[in-house]
Amino acid sequence: MAAILIRLAQNEAVPSLVIAAWRLTIATLILLPICVLRHAEEVRQLKRDAWLPAILSGVLLAVHFAAWIASLDYTSVAAASALVATVPLWVAIASPFLLREGLTRATKVGIGLALVGSVLIAANDLGGVGQNPLLGNGLAVIGAIAAAGYLIIGRKLRATLSLIPYITLVYGIAAITLMLAAIGSGQPIFAYSPSIFALFFLIAAVPQLMGHSSFNYALGYLPAAYVTLTAIAEPVGASILALFIFREIPTSYTILGGILILCGIVLSSRTNDRSTT
């Protein structure tokens, strides 16, 4: 739903950076009272050497959303969603070195299938769909790389923090980063109608608090590469929704890519189930 809700806000001339800033700010404001009332002691006991990774994770999350949401200004929903879904590629490359989490052969094949599917979906845009597809696709890839770094750091931090304190801290740092960037670039923060703020709330409540927080919960129990793999399904869902809402008709590339993505997810999830039983 994220790409669809964001595109709706962009169609009302809301700057991408402002959308990203309010997404994280509203999510943080919802979480903050829960964190203060139930987890204040856990935050106080957080070791000093954990704060720098937490800050870096929040900044990377801010870069992820700033780049990916901006990509939707220049390219299609299908292409932006497909390219930002290459997160597992970057996580898989880095995990053996940073997390010492090996990948089975079947998981590598699953990631490969899913990534090929994502590239097929994005390939449709290389012919010139969108205002500036090259820029849009590049921003989506930058968003994917930033998200990979954020999730790798999160895998380590979740070993020392429970879910609510972790996401409150990281979302809060990302919110501050994005708000400062939006204000510093001279973009209006409050000059929007109630319907636009309703969109901001939906973006924060559904894709952020339900979607992203689910990934962060899973990071406490599963390898980062496997957690990110499930997110590759996003281009499929986003493309289907874009068909009905924006009349973006999927091409044969999109259909074939979606099939490969789903096959990759099934292969890797079946492998993970066998390896953990």
pLDDT tens-place string over residues 106-135: 778 888 888 888 788 777 655 545 567 778
pTM of the predicted model as reported, rounded to 2 decimal places: 0.83
DSSP state of 231: G
pLDDT tens-digit profile, the chain (277 residues): 888 999 999 999 999 999 999 999 999 999 999 999 999 988 888 887 888 999 999 999 999 999 999 998 888 887 788 888 888 778 777 767 776 666 778 778 888 888 888 788 777 655 545 567 778 888 998 999 999 899 888 878 887 888 999 999 999 999 999 999 999 999 999 999 999 999 999 999 999 999 888 888 887 787 766 777 666 677 777 778 877 887 777 677 777 887 887 787 777 666 554 444 4
Locus of tokens 């973009």: 187
Cα separation, 109 vs 271, in Å, equals 11
Cα separation, 147 vs 51, in Å, equals 19
Length of the chain as a residue count: 277
Cα separation, 105 vs 39, in Å, equals 40
pLDDT at 124: 65
Return the sign of the alpha-carbon dihedral for residues 71, 116, 240, 272.
negative
DSSP state of 219: T
Cα separation, 266 vs 122, in Å, equals 21
Q: Could you list the residue range(s) of the whole structural domain that residue 264 is in?
A: 2-275
List the alpha helices (DSSP H) in the chain. Answer: 2-10, 16-44, 48-71, 77-84, 87-98, 105-123, 133-157, 163-184, 194-203, 213-218, 224-230, 234-246, 252-275
**Residues whose CB is less than 8 angstroms from the CB of residue 162 and which lie 6 or more positions away in sequence, other chains included:** 39, 42, 220
Q: How many domains does the chain have?
A: 1
Q: How far is CA 238 from the centre of its chain?
A: 13
Cα separation, 58 vs 65, in Å, equals 11
- In one-letter notation, the amino acid at residue 149 is G
Locus of tokens 């809402």: 245
Cα separation, 93 vs 56, in Å, equals 19
Q: How far is CA 236 from the centre of its chain?
A: 15
Q: Find out whether 9 and 203 touch, Cβ atoms under 8 Å.
A: yes
